[in-house]
Amino acid sequence: MIKIGTIYIRSIIYRLFISISMILCSFMYILIIFVSAKYKYKILSLWPKIALYGAKFICGLSWTTKGIENIPSDESFIILSNHQSTWETLFFISVLPKNVCYVYKRELHWIPFFGWGLALLDMIPINRSKGSTAIKQMITKWQNKLNESCCLIIFPEGSRNLSNKIGQFKLGSAILALETKSNILPVAHNSGKFWRIDSMLIYPGNIIVSIGPIIQVKKYTTADELNKASYKWVKNEMLKIEDGNCKNI
């Protein structure tokens, strides 16, 4: 068993590592402002990979993925995932075999270095205080991306929760899926068990990421029904993972 002192030291080293690497990468990003979107994405996604694998080698935080075969190869789709830590934001852009696009609050652009790099990516920042206007903007921007064969990442809880908790899904993601006829790929994980929102410590361990079967939006007539179906799958799978009963792992 690793002592808490060792975990503390590793956590500090890792946070220094990602801060320094972020600053160094940000200077490199200045040089790619006029690079085409295709190559800009590849370059800008370098830092999340550095941060993800840095957590693995410095903090001992690895992962096991179940259900990779459920990821469609020939269509754009929307991932709905529970949200417990920073880890999953690094994981999706680093590991998924498709380009990803995040829906995120516009205020993240104000974070030095990290926010500046994020602003260079062609993703979907929204002003959450705008309500229905923000949803309309999200629909328009995602419709423009449907032919790019990418996936949209949404954390429908709206904020992070502790590892054994899941908040209700906001309706906006289900409305977006119905309006754009985009199928939903549900994802559940337990990253918060090791990278908690209420602690600076990052514990060693193995995060379980479970990717579910595609939810076909054509089977639903209302956003509320679709939202409940997505929430039910993610919640049930998350509870299985938390209880150590996730099968086929």
**Model confidence pLDDT, tens digit, residues 12-64:** 999 999 999 988 887 777 777 677 766 777 887 889 999 999 999 999 999 99
Q: Specify if 106 maps to a domain.
A: yes
3-state secondary structure of 104: strand
Q: What pLDDT score was predicted for residue 162?
A: 86
Q: What's the domain range around 122?
A: 4-242
Whether residue 225 has pLDDT greater than 50: yes
| The model's pTM | 0.88
Q: What pLDDT score was predicted for residue 102?
A: 86
φ, ψ at 141 (rounded to 5°): -70, -35
| Mean pLDDT (whole number) for 163-188 | 94
Helix-strand-coil split of the chain, %, nearest 5: 50, 15, 35
Whether residue 71 has pLDDT greater than 90: yes
Q: What pLDDT score was predicted for residue 113?
A: 67
Q: How many domains are contained in the chain?
A: 1
Whether residue 124 has pLDDT greater than 50: yes
Q: What pLDDT score was predicted for residue 164?
A: 83
Q: Specify if 104 maps to a domain.
A: yes
**Where residue 69 falls among pLDDT bands split at 50, 70, 90?**
very high
**Position of tokens 């380009």?**
99
**Cross-strand pairs, 126:** 105
Q: Specify if 227 maps to a domain.
A: yes
CATH of residue 221's domain is 3.40.1130.10
- Contact present, 61 and 203 (Cβ < 8 Å): yes
Q: Specify if 248 maps to a domain.
A: no
Average pLDDT score over the chain: 87
3-state secondary structure of 215: strand
Q: Specify if 128 maps to a domain.
A: yes
Q: What pLDDT score was predicted for residue 110?
A: 78
Lowest mean pLDDT among 8-22, 71-85, 121-135, 227-241: 121-135
**Where residue 248 falls among pLDDT bands split at 50, 70, 90?**
very low
**Position of tokens 């995602």?**
142
Q: Specify if 238 maps to a domain.
A: yes
16 contact partners, CB below 8 Å, separation of at least 6: none
